[in-house]
Chain A
Amino acid sequence: MIKHLRRLALLPLVLLLTSCAKDAPQDYLQPEGTYAKKIDTLQKPVFILAAIVAVFVFALVAYAMWRFRERKDDDPNELPAQMHGNTKLEIGWTILPALVLAAISAFTLPVVFELTDEPDEYLAVDVYGQKYWWGYEYPGEGNSAYGIEEAGIRTANELHIPVGVPVWLTLRSNDVIHSFWAPKLNGKRDVVPGRVHTWKLEAEEPGVFSGQCAEFCGTSHAFMRLKVVAHDQASWREWVEQMQAPLEEPEAGSLAAEGFELFAQKGCAGCHQVDGAYEEVAEDAPAAPNLTKLFTRDCFAGCIYDLTDRNELEAWLRDPQRKDGSLMVIGELTEDEIDRLYAYLETLR
Chain B
Amino acid sequence: MAITEDRPLELTTGETVVRQPLGAFTRPRSTTGWRSWLTTIDHKKIGILYGGTALFFFFVGGVEALLIRMQLAQPDGQVLTAGQYNQVFTMHGTTMVFLVVMPLAAAFANYLMPLQIGARDVAFPRLNAFSYWTFLFGGIVLNSGWFLGGSPDNGWFNYAPNSGLAYSPGNGIDFWNMGLLIAGIASLVGAINLIVTALNMRAPGMTLMRMPVFTWMALVTQFLLLFAIPVLTVAQFLLMFERLFGAQFFDPAAGADPLLWQHLFWIFGHPEVYIMILPAFGIVSEIMPTFARKPLFGYPFMVFSGIAIGFMGWGVWAHHMFVSGLGPVSVAAFSLSTMFIAVPTGVKIFNWVGTLWGGKLKFSVPMAFAIALVVQFTVGGVSGVSHAVSPSDTQQTDTYYIVAHFHYVLFGGALFGMVGGLYYWWPKFFGRHLRDRLGWWHFWLMALGFNLTFGPMHIVGLQGMPRRTASYPEGMGWDFWNFIETVGAFLIGVSFLVFAYNIIVSRNNPPAEADPWDGRTLEWATSSPPPVHNFDEIPTVSHLDDWWHSKYRETDDHRLERVEGVKSYSSPEGPSEPPHLPSPSYWPFVLALGLPFVAYGLLYSYWLCGVGGVLILAAIYGWSLEPSVDPGAHAHHDEHEHGHGHDDHDADAEEPVAVATTPEETTE
Contacts and interface: CB of A to CB of B under 8 A. Distances in A.
Interface of A: 1, 4-5, 8-9, 11-12, 15-16, 18-19, 21-29, 36, 38-39, 42-43, 46-47, 50-51, 53-54, 57-58, 60-61, 64-65, 68-70, 74, 77-87, 89-90, 93-94, 97-98, 101-102, 104-105, 108-109, 111-113, 115-116, 175-177, 179, 181, 183-184, 186-190, 192-195, 197, 210, 212-223, 304, 324-325
Contacts of B473: 304
Nearest to B377: A57
Nearest to A223: B82
A217 B388 CA distance: 25
A217 B258 CA distance: 13
A194 B475 CA distance: 36
Contacts of B444: 4
A270 B227 CA distance: 51
B256 interface: yes
Interface stretch (B216-224, B231-239, B311-319, B453-461): B453-461
Contact of B375 (A50, A58, A213): A58
Given A29-B463, A112-B332, A216-B468, A51 B382 contact: yes
A97 B363 CA distance: 30
B358 interface: yes
Given A108-B335, A177-B258, A187-B394, A94 B360 contact: no
B47 to A, nearest CB: 30
A85 B301 contact: yes
Nearest to B464: A26
B149 interface: no
A16 B258 CA distance: 38
B63 interface: no
Contacts of B459: 15-16, 18-19
B368 interface: yes
A187 B467 CA distance: 15
B430 to A, nearest CB: 26
A23 B473 CA distance: 13
Given A19-B459, A187-B323, A54 B378 contact: yes
A15 B323 contact: no
Among B331, B356, B374, B394: residue with most chain A CB under 10 A: B394
Contacts of A18: 459
A9 B349 CA distance: 17
Given A68-B359, A69-B363, A104-B385, 8 more contacts: A15-B456, A19-B459, A28-B463, A46-B392, A68-B356, A104-B389, A193-B252, A222-B471
A29 B462 contact: yes
A43 B374 CA distance: 25
A54 B476 contact: no
A61 B354 contact: no
B328 interface: yes
A46 B385 contact: yes
B371 A61 contact: yes
Interface in B309-361: 323-325, 327-328, 331-332, 335-336, 339-340, 342-344, 346-347, 349-351, 353-354, 356-361
Contact of B295 (A57, A70, A84, A214): A84
A36 B155 CA distance: 28
> Number of contact residues on B: which range applies?
35 or more
A59 B221 CA distance: 31
A4 B382 CA distance: 23
B639 interface: no
B399 interface: yes
Contact of A81 (B253, B358, B456, B477): B358
Contacts of A214: 397-399, 466
A217 B164 CA distance: 12
Nearest to B401: A28
Nearest to B352: A61
B455 A19 contact: no
B97 interface: no
Q: Give 4 closest A-B pairs by Cβ, nearest first.
A: A187-B394, A26-B464, A194-B252, A24-B477
Given A86-B298, A112-B328, A113-B328, A218 B162 contact: yes
Given A15-B456, A38-B391, A82-B295, A61 B374 contact: yes
A215 B398 contact: yes
Contacts of A12: 379, 455
B300 A85 contact: yes
A77 B293 CA distance: 11
A64 B331 CA distance: 40
Contacts of B325: 189-190, 192, 195, 197
A175 B162 CA distance: 8
7 contacts: A11-B455, A19-B463, A46-B386, A84-B299, A194-B255, A216-B155, A221-B86
Given A82-B295, A90-B347, A324-B82, A183 B478 contact: no
A64 B560 CA distance: 22
Contacts of A4: 444
A64 B356 contact: yes
Contacts of A197: 325
Contact of A101 (B167, B257, B350, B385): B385
A19 B298 CA distance: 39
B379 A81 contact: no
A70 B354 contact: no
Contacts of A101: 339-340, 342-343, 385
B629 to A, nearest CB: 43
Nearest to B560: A79
A222 B472 contact: yes
A177 B159 contact: yes
B447 interface: yes
Contacts of B301: 85, 90, 94
Contacts of A220: 82, 470
Contact of B476 (A26, A74, A188): A26
Contact of B391 (A187, A215, A216): A187
Contacts of B552: 79
B7 interface: no
